């Protein structure tokens, strides 16, 4: 996973932080004393090269009502310089970030002089951690939505509903088959097991599922499922 470089862009200094390789935590890594757009951009690009990333997250200093003021426009103007240098720029609301960073340093027992030197890079880390946490929560919500959409509920022989996770629907020799796995395995043996059913039509023309009992067909469908799963994994890695 590509790391993310985060910037707390101030008038005189730019605090720099970077994410870990898993995108879980943010660490303050440095401070850029501002000289001008050109040198400042080169300094950011050097950090990006050090951490092998092209993605830069800029804290956007919004007003308390969410509107953009002069400082936010200055940050966007600097971000445009970074984009022209070939970096991918993202933005994150940094309201109260400096206050949070200052409080963290005070609680950590840092003296005033030390806080002055550390607050900008710590603010960059606070900005980045907020982004990482929100991004991870959003991905988790999406995964939960996908899982809910993939749940198939069938009626068991005793008349009780049983939930399955839909793995794949594929065609074999002119027939369609659905592959399911128990959504909530009751025993260790059920965990990871695959149920293969043939899709047919009932008298009302609705889809219905019939347990496939032909071992040769079961083997062929399962092997095709494994092939397609490997192809999907290869595409995701690319």
pLDDT tens digits along 61-81: 887 777 888 989 999 999 999
Q: What is the pLDDT of residue 114?
A: 45
Mean pLDDT computed over 145-169: 74
Q: What is the pLDDT of residue 135?
A: 83
HEC profile of 45-94: HHHHHHCCCCEEEEEECECCCCCECHHHHHHHHHHHHHHHCCCEEEEEEC
The two three-digit tokens of residue 197, written as one number: 């059913």
Placement of tokens 């919004």 in the chain: 62
Name, of 13-22, 135-144, 208-217, the range with top average pLDDT.
Answer: 13-22
Least confident of 19-28, 109-118, 167-176: 109-118
Q: Does the predicted model carry a pTM greater than 0.85?
A: no
pLDDT band at 141 (very low <50, low <70, confident <90, very high): low
Residue 27 has pLDDT above 50, yes or no: yes
Phi, psi torsion values for 101, nearest 5 degrees: -65, -45
Q: What is the pLDDT of residue 157?
A: 65
User: How large is the angle between the packed helices 97-107 and 112-149, nearest 10 degrees?
Assistant: 120
Spatial separation of the C-alpha atoms in residues 191 and 165, rounded to whole Å: 12
Mean pLDDT computed over 5-21: 93
Q: What is the pLDDT of residue 28?
A: 92
């Amino acid at each position: 996973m590509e790391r993310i470089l985060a910037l707390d862009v101030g008038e005189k200094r730019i605090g720099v932080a970077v994410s870990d390789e898993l995108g879980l935590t943010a660490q303050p890594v440095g401070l850029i004393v501002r000289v001008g757009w050109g040198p400042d951009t080169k300094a950011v690009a050097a950090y990006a090269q050090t951490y092998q990333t092209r993605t830069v997250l800029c804290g956007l200093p919004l007003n308390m009502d969410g509107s953009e003021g002069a400082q936010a426009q200055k940050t966007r103007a600097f971000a445009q310089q970074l984009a022209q240098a070939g970096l991918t720029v993202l933005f994150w609301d940094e309201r109260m970030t400096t206050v949070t960073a200052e409080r963290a340093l005070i609680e950590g027992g840092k003296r005033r002089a030390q806080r002055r030197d550390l607050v900008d890079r710590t603010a960059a880390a606070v900005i980045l951690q907020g982004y990482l946490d929100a991004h991870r929560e959003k991905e988790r919500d999406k995964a939960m939505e996908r899982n809910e959409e993939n749940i198939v509920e069938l009626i068991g022989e005793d008349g009780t509903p049983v939930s399955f996770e839909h793995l794949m629907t594929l065609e074999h020799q002119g027939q369609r088959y659905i592959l399911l796995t128990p959504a909530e395995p009751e025993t260790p043996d059920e965990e990871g097991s695959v149920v293969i059913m043939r899709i047919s039509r009932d008298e009302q023309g609705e889809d219905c599922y019939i347990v496939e009992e032909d071992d040769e067909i079961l083997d062929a469908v399962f092997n095709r499922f494994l092939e397609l799963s490997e192809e999907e994994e290869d595409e995701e890695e690319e």
